[in-house]
């Protein structure tokens, strides 16, 4: 058995209690991630302890936001936009099994992997959806349907907000995970957040447990409906950010 002490200590720091079954699910997820990574590019981080800290504990660190913790303690609906190898969506689903999770990614090969993980871990109330945010958030099934939208995708707040805020219902939250200095980016993104119906209520700055990796959570509340013209199509989200 591998030594997961660092993970357990990190969970204590986050005030998250997991059963033996949940801990085993994380172990299986790690094995599947590393095995699949041999044949397709899922992550540059593969060492056991690094994955425990930089993927699993980092994903779970959204509970540093009290608003997120409260929602995750209920049977909320969560969407993870640009989930990649399943971060943060799958760790959050394992730790908070009562939530309903949608994992969204634009690469079908990653969706196939995520479906394997979902099946192997016997996770319920979770789906992996192939598509782009610009398209899916225009569908009635997804638009303004989620209590919380999370994303670890690498994109600036103005562009990421246009992709993500349309998924969030009124009174819900969009919470992107950010790293590095973000004050200038936040200032640049204020206009976009406002246009899309959001309001930046809080920035939670912290260090990922068991590391010196600095993170920020930008907590954006959905205050009004997103205007019908957003998100824009044709790549404008990134080529001409709001």
Residue 106 has pLDDT above 90, yes or no: yes
Query: pLDDT tens-digit profile of 13-23?
Result: 999 999 999 99
pLDDT, residue 153, reads: 87
Task: Say if CB 99 and CB 76 are below 8 A apart.
Answer: yes
pLDDT, residue 28, reads: 98
Query: pLDDT tens-digit profile of 165-186?
Result: 999 999 999 999 999 889 999 9
For the segment 76-100, the average pLDDT, to the nearest whole number, is 98
Residue 235 has pLDDT above 90, yes or no: no
Burial of 121 (0-12, 13-18, 19+ CB in 10 A): buried
All structural domains of the chain? 5-224 (3.40.50.150)
The structure tokens listed for 62 are 């959204």
The set of residues, in sequence order, having a beta carbon less than 8 Å from that of 242 and lying 6+ positions away, is: 158, 161, 162, 191, 192, 195, 196
Residue 128 φ then ψ, to 5°: -110, 125
Residue 189 has pLDDT above 90, yes or no: yes
Compute the distance between CA of residue 37 and CA of residue 84 in angstroms, rounded to an integer.
12
Task: Tell me: cis bond preceding 166? Omega within 30 of 0 counts.
Answer: no
The set of residues, in sequence order, having a beta carbon less than 8 Å from that of 181 and lying 6+ positions away, is: none
pTM for this predicted structure: 0.97
The set of residues, in sequence order, having a beta carbon less than 8 Å from that of 160 and lying 6+ positions away, is: 81, 151, 153, 176
Residue 125 φ then ψ, to 5°: 55, 45
For the segment 71-89, the average pLDDT, to the nearest whole number, is 97
Question: Across 66-167, where does the E strand assignment appear?
Answer: 77-81, 100-105, 126-130, 146-151
Residue 158 has pLDDT above 80, yes or no: yes
Burial of 71 (0-12, 13-18, 19+ CB in 10 A): buried
pLDDT, residue 171, reads: 97
Q: Provide the pLDDT confidence category of residue 204 given band limits of 50, 70 and 90.
A: very high
Compute the distance between CA of residue 101 and CA of residue 179 in angstroms, rounded to an integer.
24
Q: Provide the pLDDT confidence category of residue 234 given band limits of 50, 70 and 90.
A: confident
Compute the distance between CA of residue 183 and CA of residue 52 in angstroms, rounded to an integer.
28
At 116 the three-state DSSP class reads helix
């Amino acid at each position: 058995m591998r030594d997961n002490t660092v993970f357990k200590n990190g969970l204590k720091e986050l005030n998250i209690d997991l059963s033996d079954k949940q801990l085993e699910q994380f172990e299986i997820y790690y094995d599947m991630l590393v095995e699949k990574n041999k044949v397709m590019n899922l992550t540059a981080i593969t060492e056991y302890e690094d994955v425990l800290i930089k993927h699993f504990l980092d994903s779970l660190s959204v509970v540093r936001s009290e608003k997120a913790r409260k929602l995750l303690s209920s049977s909320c609906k969560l969407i993870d936009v640009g989930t990649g190898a399943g971060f943060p969506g799958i760790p959050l689903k394992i730790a908070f099994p009562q939530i309903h999770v949608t994992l969204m990614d634009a690469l079908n090969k990653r969706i196939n992997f995520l479906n394997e993980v979902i099946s192997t871990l016997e996770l319920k109330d979770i789906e992996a959806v192939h598509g782009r945010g610009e398209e899916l958030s225009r569908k009635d099934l997804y638009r303004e349907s989620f209590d919380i939208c999370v994303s670890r995708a690498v994109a600036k707040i103005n562009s990421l907000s246009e992709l993500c805020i349309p998924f969030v219902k009124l009174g819900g939250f969009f919470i992107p995970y950010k790293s590095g200095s973000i004050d200038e980016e936040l200032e640049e993104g204020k206009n976009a957040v406002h246009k899309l119906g959001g309001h930046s209520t809080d920035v939670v700055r912290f260090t990922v447990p068991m590391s010196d990796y600095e993170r920020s959570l930008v907590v954006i509340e959905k205050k009004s409906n997103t205007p019908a013209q957003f998100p824009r199509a044709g790549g404008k989200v990134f080529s001409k950010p709001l």
